[in-house]
Structure 1
Amino acid sequence: MNTLFITGVTGFLGGAVLEKILNSDQAVNLLLLVRASNPQEGLERVKANMRKFHVHEDILARLNADDILIGDLANAHDFLSDPRLDQVTHVLNCAAVASFGNNPLIWKVNVEGTLALATRMEQVEGLQRFLHVGTAMSCTPEQDSLVAESAEFRENAEHLVEYTYSKSTIEQLMRQQCPRLPLLIARPSIVVGHTRHGCTPSSSIFWVFSMGLMLQKFMCSMEDKVDVVPVDYCADALLMLLNSSAGQGEVVHISAGEENSVRFADIDMAMAEALEKAPVGDKYAQVSYETLVKMRRELKHIFGPCNERLMLKAMRLYGAFATLNVRFSNDKLLSMGMPKPPRFTDYIARCVQTTQGLTIPEQMAVDFK
């Protein structure tokens, strides 16, 4: 790579990629899209995120304001005329509004802004790769299935949240409207925690597992499986894909696959061991969402001060995903030479350690921004 343009570096996944680059000996020119009023403020935002990944200050000192492109995908045309984009050889598009709430910017950023960026970069003569980060859930998988890596989408499928619908839509639009774009689509499954830093960079989604075990009931069974990968594994895979020979428009899952997905029962035992307490085990009950609604007045006693309406919304949304019991094939990634991912239960203790003292409402704030 000569010049790598990264969006989303102040977020979880983009931050993990930048951590990998900064801690390596890769010779690459960086151009980082950041929301800020000026390059110096943008640089400080990037450094603040890198400190969550424990990047040493001596390494952070190598970054400078010239590496920063001030801009926001919500207003993409404000930065697309920057001449530095014409020197870019590789794009890693991690930026997205990943909220499971009703954030009004979801469509503006994930679809309109991303399409404007793709259209602009298609005109760059030396561009070799435009790696777009989607989500494995964008294909609306069928329940109890092992999902193949495909660009196909089920017709008239209903999305559980606007976020996955937006991710599905932009993939199709880029293919249709940017036929010369050297597009590669990476679809991570459920990204939770970091194998070394736990939930310090972000508590996204980890709280769901804690919440269900604290309730001792949820909408999935203990035998259902969940496909989870750590953010640092995902970052390694993205960096490999940037330099891969994968074909234009190809879809690659970054996932645990059939082999390394884990049962909720395994998560229960691993979390109990980390907390040095007995697992929920037989005390757990699979219940309907309606049963959870009837517990509304008990939630503050279980979780402390909380927004009951938002807690129930979270249970409904994440419960619907949990009951799918889907795994995503990772055959392509493994065939490219990527090692098998760690199991969620291999590093769950680190996630537990780094969320001690945080309430469930505090942890879930990142997913409902």
Structure 2
Amino acid sequence: MNTVLITGATGFLGGAVAVNLLKKSDHYRLLLLVRANSQAAGLERIKENLLKFGVEAGQLNRLTHENILIGDLAEPERFIDDARLTKVTHVLNCAAVASFGANPLIWKVNVEGTFAFASRMARVKGLKRFVHVGTAMSCAPEANSLVVESELNTLREQHVVEYTWSKATVERMMSEMLPNLPLVIARPSIVVGHSDCGCAPSPSIFWVFRMVLTLGKFMCELNDRIDVVPVDYCADALELLLTAPNVEKTIIHISAGENSSVTFAEIDQAMAQASGHVAVAETYQKVNYRELAASRSSFSSLFGPCNERILLRAMNLYGHFSKLNVVFSNEKLLELGMPPSSKFTDYLHHCVASTRNATIAELMEVDFK
């Protein structure tokens, strides 16, 4: 039986993959890296997260203390000597500080800790696959393009945030410095919601679309496209990459691609239909950041109590990404037998329903922690 070590199982994407593999416990033995003071506390954290994905109690009860590896990528030296690591056959590394804020742990976890962990796993004789989850944005894509999987050669000045630079850096370090690591780099595009559970597992990034349409103006055109996939599709793709043949030393997008990406105009229509509000298409304005900042006095009335400084920072960052108008090629993934992703607009109504009673300020906390 394969033993799969998952890091980040208390998070959004790692939790979704853990749910998948938990349902197939006859084929996989799970070892889950968790930040906690004890295995009992770690098990509770895992169960609390997986419940957000609608997992049945009977499936959750398959997890025991033996499935829990206490540790933190900020301090890898505390767990990398655990004897259970020698029996791991597959690694799915989802753990990261995925903040677009100025979190001081970004480099320590995403680069230093991740590389130390990967170095340790490269010495495990029975390791068959190490799937590292990066981000499609780590390639610093050019605007208005169909982006194919690129080499690891970006520069710091090409990155808007430290998060994407940290991801690009550790990808290059592992590829160049760990030749024995059976590495596959998975680069998801923009992961928003769950195709059945909406934003119940996490509201990450969905609030941006609500914010834009509430404002009725932003830094992109309504006919610009955006590449969004649901977390369950991403989890299915990562499960495939754990065992797919002939993918080692490969970079693979997990993306909507040309056929399943959508325009902001389509999102506007779907959001209006799901929420019962009027679409903003006829009154929408494309503006620059300075014009957005000039409207800060209206933020409280539009969004409720909020930190204007953080909201403006969010508008600046996500405004930059929104106007890129890029789509990430999914040809490599489809060639492996993965079906196309559903469109964001196909399941957006679930996202609306699951966030109806939350303010934008509350929803955005997950991305600016």
The one-letter code sitting in structure 1 at the alignment partner of 2:327 is R
CA contact (8 A) 2:192 2:206 kept: yes
Structure 2 equivalent of residue 311 of structure 1? 311
Paired position in structure 1 for 2:174: 174
CA apart distance, 1:26: 4.4
Q: Is the 8 A contact 2:30 2:67 kept in 1?
A: yes
SS at match of 1:283: coil
- Return the alpha-carbon distance in structure 2 between the equivalents of residues 171 and 98 of structure 1: 15
Deviation at 1:157, TM superposition (A): 4.7
Code of the aligned partner of 2:255: S
CA distance in 2, matches of 1:336, 1:184: 14
Letter matched to residue 15 of structure 1 = G
CA distance in 1, matches of 2:176, 2:152: 13
In the alignment, is residue 51 of structure 1 matched against residue 55 of structure 2?
no
Contact map agreement 2:241 2:247 (CA 8 A) in 1: no
Aligned to 1:344: 344
TM-aligned CA deviation for residue 247 of structure 1: 3.4
3-state SS of paired residue (1:279): coil
Amino acid aligned to 2:196? R
Q: 1:339 to 1:160 in 2, by over 3 A?
A: same
* Secondary structure at the counterpart of residue 158 of structure 2: coil
Conserved 8 A contact 2:144-2:325? yes
Structure 1, residues 61-119: CA drift from partner, whole Å, max 9, x if none? 11000110000000011100001000000000000000000000000000000000110
One-letter amino acid matched to 1:183:
L
Contact in 2 for aligned 1:140/1:157 (Cα 8 Å): no
Residue in structure 1 matched with residue 243 of structure 2 by the alignment: 243
The TM-score, its normalising length taken from structure 2, stands at 0.98
CA gap 1:228/1:26 in 2 versus in 1, 3 angstroms: farther
The 1-side partners of 2:77 and 2:193 are apart by 34
- 1:283 maps to 2:283: yes
Cα separation, 2, equivalents of 1:282 and 1:317? 25
Checking the alignment, whether the CA contact within 8 Å between 1:111 and 1:167 is kept in structure 2 is: yes
Report whether the alignment pairs 1:234 with 2:234: yes
The code of the aligned residue for 2:237 comes to A
Give the residue type in structure 2 aligned to 1:271.
M
User: Residue 150 of structure 1: CA displacement?
Assistant: 2.4
Please give the alpha-carbon distance, in whole angstroms, between the structure 1 residues aligned to 2:73 and 2:58: 31
Conserved 8 A contact 2:152-2:171:
no
1:23, CA displacement in angstroms? 2.7
Pairwise mapping of residues 185-196 of structure 1 onto structure 2 (< 5 A)? 185-196=185-196
Question: What is the CA–CA distance in structure 2 between the aligned matches of 1:65 and 1:284, rounded to whole Å?
Answer: 53
Q: How does 1:110-121 map to 2 (within 5 A)?
A: 110-121=110-121
Q: Which residue of 2 aligns with 1:159?
A: 159
Distance 1:34 1:236 in 2: 22
Is the 1:226–1:322 Cα contact (8 Å) retained in structure 2? Answer: yes
The answer to which of 143-152 and 337-346 deviates more is: 143-152
Computed over aligned residues only, the root mean square deviation of the Cα atoms, in angstroms, reads: 1.0
Matching of residue 69 in structure 1 with residue 69 in structure 2: yes
Q: How does 1:189-208 map to 2 (within 5 A)?
A: 189-208=189-208
Map 1:91-130; keep pairs closer than 5 Å: 91-130=91-130
**Structure 2 matches for 1:9-24, cutoff 5 A?**
9-24=9-24
C-alpha displacement at 1:21, in angstroms?
1.5
Q: Cα deviations across residues 49-72 of structure 1 (Å, max 9, x unaligned)?
A: 011111111111110001100000
Take 2:285 and 2:158, find their aligned partners in 1: how far apart are those partners? 28
* CA distance in 2: counterparts of 1:344 and 1:36, whole angstroms: 35
Q: Distance in 2 between matches of 1:360 and 1:62?
A: 36
- Equivalence map 1:206-225=2 (5 Å): 206-225=206-225
Give the Cα separation in 2 of the matches to 1:367 and 1:155: 24
SS at match of 1:239: helix
**Residue in structure 1 matched with residue 354 of structure 2 by the alignment:** 354
Per-residue deviation at 1:282?
A: 1.1
Tell me if the contact between 1:252 and 1:333 (Cα under 8 Å) persists in the aligned partners. Answer: yes
Letter in 2 for 1:33: L
Task: Determine if contact 1:184/1:246 at 8 Å carries over to the other structure.
Answer: no
Please state whether the residue corresponding to 1:66 is helix, strand or coil: helix
| Partners of 1:314 and 1:244 in 2: CA distance | 37
Match of 1:367 in 2: 367
Whether the 8 Å CA contact 1:134–1:186 is kept in 2: the answer is: yes
Secondary structure of the residue that 2:75 maps to in structure 1?
Answer: helix
Q: What SS class does the counterpart of residue 321 from structure 1 fall into? A: helix
Q: TM-score, normalised by structure 1?
A: 0.98
Q: How many residues align?
A: 369
Give the deviation of 1:245 after TM superposition: 1.3
Cα distance between partner residues in 1 of 2:25 and 2:67 = 17
Distance 1:45 1:205 in 2: 23
Report the identity percentage. 58
CA–CA separation in structure 2 for the residues paired with 1:273 and 1:158: 38
Task: Give the letter for the 1:273 counterpart.
Answer: Q
Q: Tell me if the contact between 2:152 and 2:172 (Cα under 8 Å) persists in the aligned partners.
A: no
2:60 maps to which residue? Answer: 60
